[in-house]
Amino acid sequence: MNTPIRRLSVFTMALFGVLMLNLTWIQGFQAQSLIEDPLNSRLYSERLSEARGPIIVGDENVAYSENIAEEDSSPEYQRVYEGGGVYTPVVGSFRSYGASGIEATENSLLDGSDDRLAVRNFRDIITGREPEGARVQLTLDPAVQEAGYQGFVDLGMNGAAVAIQPDTGAILGAVSYPSYDANDVVSITDQQAAIDNYTAMEADEDKPLLNRALNERYAPGSTFKVVTAAAAIEKLGKTGESTIDAPDVREFPSGPVLPNATSGGTCNGGEPDSLAHSIQISCNTSMANWAIEMGGEALSDQATAFGFNPEEGEELRVPMSVTPSYAPVETDESILGRAGIGQSNVEATPLQMAMVASGIANDGEVMHPYLVDSVLDSDMSVVTQASPETYSQAVEPSTADMLTDMMVLVTTPPEGSGLNGAIPGMDVAGKTGTAENGTDRTHNWFIGFAPADDPQIAVAVVIEFGGGSGGSLAAPIARQMMEAVVL
């Protein structure tokens, strides 16, 4: 072989080598990312031809696919959403460039690719029937969800609310405000407008894409006092009549003093106050003293029993991921005292505080919260059916009874601090909260359940930077959500 031919052969072999390396890199290491790349037009065209299953709330399809193709043309399915922003934080959106909410977590069922639909898919191939995705039925009660959402619309403030059926854990309402209309970000006829709308919301300082109900933590303020009271009963053997010092101002070895936020700044005229009365009027100094007396480990353990402080890898999914809530062990007296009233390093999602209320309502048993009730195949056969599961036994039934009695006092005149949560004709258990957050506008909370003697719904509402009180801002929304079930 002469020299020019030998050089050409070597060069050609080198080119083949480079080509093989490139193919190996693409097929072996980049295949999945290329499939999922939003610029993958093939993937997008496949999505356009898919008839995704509907997402159902009550008896209505709140998300479904609609064929918008011309007659005799290949199908083009546009995803359609009902309810404006009412259901978006839960349902999410399915876009050519991503997905969120139930649309994301149940994607393989909705698009029909899940292995559990294999038999149906095989049958469709044999019969020539057009494949369809499964139907996902949510636990949301439309009356509860709409009552909560409308409450935030009327109030005009940001926040979130969660409602739970205490004996099952089914989530009846999961409101996050502000929200957005998913139809604005899913158009297949004006893709650029859909992308632009989504991009604008990502930059919106009101964070309409954030699911505050599941993924935002706030200091729970005085709603956390029911956890402190639970620990005082469980760890110290106390009752509602047990008393502890309740000065007008609590001083600590270090840090600022803690005042009361009650009328006149006093709880019992400066005398020791009972646990029940401290819950009723939301006394700061006595509840701080209870936390200090029981110690940081006891308080943190009680919070953990309600769902705080999950182990890494054990965080809640409903099925969307839930941001963990924390009530760490405190040893510094000043920090521990404030932890006892839901401040310091205590942070909770609205879902977590709804679990606290729900656990007390359910004789101390906290049920695992969930949003998907069932999944049905396109022929209406059951693919999955939710089965309620116990999350924890947070407190003894006798403790839950004592806490319920204390919380009923909160909505009972003349001294109750949460009268706006009361429903005429029945006892309602409640607890207000006003949480400092480093700004001049506090977060405002209300948790509760109704009827107190036969709980059918437990709620938690937070008004973000409301700057008022939990009783004036959050309790009316909670009451409206409870009324949607009990009246």
Is 289 domain-assigned? yes
Asked if residue 475 has pLDDT above 70, the reply is yes
Is 400 domain-assigned? yes
pLDDT per residue as tens digits for the range 291-318: 999 999 999 999 999 999 999 999 999 9
Q: What does the angle CA 363 – CA 371 – CA 201 come to, to the nearest 5 degrees?
A: 125
Residue 39, amino acid: L
Enter the pTM of the model: 0.90
The pLDDT of residue 57 is 98
Poorest-pLDDT segment among 27-36, 80-89, 173-182, 191-200:
27-36
**Residue span of the structural domain in which 264 resides:** 223-378+385-484
The pLDDT of residue 418 is 97
119 pLDDT band, cuts 50/70/90, is: confident
* Gap between the Cα atoms of 427 and 482, Å rounded: 12
Is 173 domain-assigned? no
Closest-CA residue to 447 (of 415, 404, 487, 413) = 404
The pLDDT of residue 65 is 95
Structure-model confidence comparison of residues 367 and 29, the more confident one: 367
Poorest-pLDDT segment among 2-6, 67-71, 370-374, 447-451:
2-6
The pLDDT of residue 118 is 82
The pLDDT of residue 4 is 72
42 pLDDT band, cuts 50/70/90, is: low
123 pLDDT band, cuts 50/70/90, is: confident
Q: Is residue 222 annotated as part of the catalytic site, yes or no?
A: yes
Is 417 domain-assigned? yes
Structure-token pair, residue 31: 């295949």
Is 2 domain-assigned? no
Helix (H, G, I), strand (E, B) or coil at 441: coil
Is 258 domain-assigned? yes
| Mean local confidence (pLDDT), 31-50 | 58
Structure-token pair, residue 217: 């933590």
Is 359 domain-assigned? yes
Is 389 domain-assigned? yes
The CATH number given to whatever domain includes residue 330 is 3.40.710.10
The pLDDT of residue 45 is 53
Domain count, the chain: 1
Closest-CA residue to 288 (of 315, 256, 311) = 256
Candidate list 100, 222, 274, 282, residue with the active-site label:
222
Residue 370, amino acid: Y
